[in-house]
Amino acid sequence: MLYENASGFTVLAESNSMRLIDAGRESRRSMADVIDVLQRLPNFSESREAVVRLAPLKLPSGQGTTLIQIVCEAQGFAVSLPSAGYFWGVRNPVLGLERFEILRLDGAKLDMAGNVALQRATIIHSVQVSRRWTDSAIARARR
């Protein structure tokens, strides 16, 4: 059931305690975009933390992609990003942007300063998802 909340966002009520914000998903690309959405919602705090949840999806064409939601349970909202096959981020400023497989984001913690802590304590900054399918899926589709 879609409805517009007090902040003017169209949301999908998934449960009494968690609301999914899917509107505008196609225009969001980065964790900074997600934080921007969360800042405009009730109960925002700079000290909150969110968790990245992924759902791998195989398309009818055989190509793979991954659905992405950033869940801030303390605030009661989940914000979706466009589906993606990989993401870009800065692990070391000297090296600049690096490409990572999207599945490395599953379970990562996002702080409200935009830092993303991957599972093995790797900290990534300036995280942006790529709309492209995974390379292995593209290779299979070309065969």
| Mean pLDDT value of segment 98-110 | 94
pTM for the structure as a whole: 0.77
Taking only the tens place, the pLDDT of each residue in 39-81 is 998 888 888 999 999 988 888 888 888 889 999 988 889 999 9
Residue that is written with structure tokens 């190509």 in the block: 63
Write down the pLDDT at residue 5.
53
pLDDT-derived band at 13 (thresholds 50, 70, 90) equals very low
DSSP states along 58-74: E-TTS-EEEEEEEEETT
- How is residue 133 annotated by DSSP? P
The H or E element containing residue 130 is: strand 123-130
Write down the pLDDT at residue 19.
83
